[in-house]
Chain A
């Protein structure tokens, strides 16, 4: 399978890339890791007339703590998260996910920014970013704007990134003491998309009361989904097995999975309940031990 013909540019600076993007409009697509876009182009599901390869632009790949945030440059490869000391120590949720995102070769090229900008509810990072209450930095020739993750996903393959804009950074608020996070997805085999997945970040005070919680779900809705009612059920309460069970039940009721090759909608709701429950327990355990 070979993509339809296209023109190809490798701008050396972000400004050059943004200028090109503005000139070419809808005809152009940004090439980051390419592991969603190139397969789509090979299948002719996408046929952009022009690819703007941003791999040669310096300064878009970093993982750093700054101003109360963990900042991840859009071109940071999935493998970089996996191997980062900061991530290993403070954000175990990414380590949970790293094994489950595609496979090592894909993680060598696939980027965190691309994973989110693709706007696919089947990807893993979107649900994680929902749980972590991330913010997305979007850059255009006019400057930067910051979009909360809850306002980022518009619909199937559609995000807040507009014409002439590039997603350049993801910011995650530094969690308070006593915070734990966890992610898991059910997959048919290594490298597959999730049947369903659940990402949880929970903060506990000294008495075991849940002061903050984020729950994101993978591949059970048209967009990456926040389990609002589950969060509400837990926030401000002392966590117990019963309460967690109830919260997990709400996630299963609120998600909107479809019947497909990965299972029936009912089956997926069962998986959502089980995973949400397990991940709340796991995140809470990590919060206690943090």
Chain B
């Protein structure tokens, strides 16, 4: 039996009738046609489907759409304001923090929550902080640098160098 739910997606309230078994990620991608949120492993391991639900990063492949009833959901499409990129988006761009880009939306949504709690995390805190997000292009170094860069930007500090580092 379908349930009526109201979910605020990127600031816009949407009322829909959904089957209880519909997953949040399918609601976002298929019912709302927002395909920025990716499905990777479909088993809550890879983090590609990460979105914010009431400000908390969650894996939307393991949340039912009905559980988001009355809640506010932010996807990667909700990060930029008009043509102005969110600091995390700018940071990923400036630091070459993506290669194929598949993990990027989930990685950025988790980074947003991480920086929201602590905008000056250590490298270790960042690495633990993104331990639920897999990048298979082995791009972690630049992702960590991008999160540090976004933190500096959000704090209003001097931005770290974006020169490539060879290790």
Chain A residues at the B interface, C-beta cutoff of 8 Å? 1-8, 10, 31, 34-35, 38-39, 41-42, 51, 53, 55, 79, 99, 102-106, 108-109, 190-191
Contact = CB atoms under 8 A, between A and B. Distances in A.
A105 B47 contact: yes
Closest 9 CB pairs of A and B: A103-B132, A8-B20, A190-B131, A108-B56, A3-B21, A105-B132, A105-B59, A105-B57, A103-B131
A122 B122 CA distance: 30
Contacts of A103: 47, 131-133
Given A2-B21, A104-B57, A55 B129 contact: no
A70 B153 CA distance: 41
Given A7-B1, A8-B20, A35 B44 contact: yes
B122 to A, nearest CB: 14
28 contacts: A1-B43, A2-B21, A6-B20, A6-B21, A10-B69, A34-B62, A34-B67, A35-B44, A35-B62, A38-B62, A39-B62, A41-B21, A42-B23, A42-B42, A42-B43, A42-B62, A102-B132, A103-B47, A103-B133, A104-B129, A104-B132, A105-B110, A105-B132, A106-B59, A106-B132, A108-B56, A109-B58, A191-B45
Given A5-B19, A191-B45, A34 B64 contact: yes
Nearest to B56: A108
Interface of B: 1, 3, 19-23, 26, 42-45, 47, 50, 56-59, 62-64, 66-67, 69, 110, 113-114, 128-129, 131-133
Contacts of A109: 56, 58, 62-63
Nearest to B60: A105
Contacts of A1: 42-43
Contacts of B44: 35, 39, 105-106
Nearest to B3: A8
Nearest to A43: B43
Contact of B63 (A34, A190, A191): A34
B1 A55 contact: no
A104 B26 CA distance: 22
Contacts of A38: 62-64
Nearest to A190: B131
Contact of A108 (B1, B26, B57): B57
Contacts of A4: 21
Given A8-B20, A106-B59, A106-B132, 4 more contacts: A3-B21, A6-B20, A34-B67, A79-B56
A106 B63 CA distance: 10
Contacts of B50: 105
Nearest to A51: B20
A104 B110 contact: yes
A99 B62 contact: no
Nearest to B106: A105
Nearest to A104: B132
B58 A108 contact: yes
Which residue, A53, A99, A106, has most C-beta atoms of chain B within 10 A?
Answer: A106
A126 to B, nearest CB: 20
B155 to A, nearest CB: 21
A29 B127 CA distance: 36
B20 A7 contact: yes
A38 B1 CA distance: 18
A158 B68 CA distance: 29
B37 to A, nearest CB: 13
B21 A99 contact: no
A248 B89 CA distance: 50
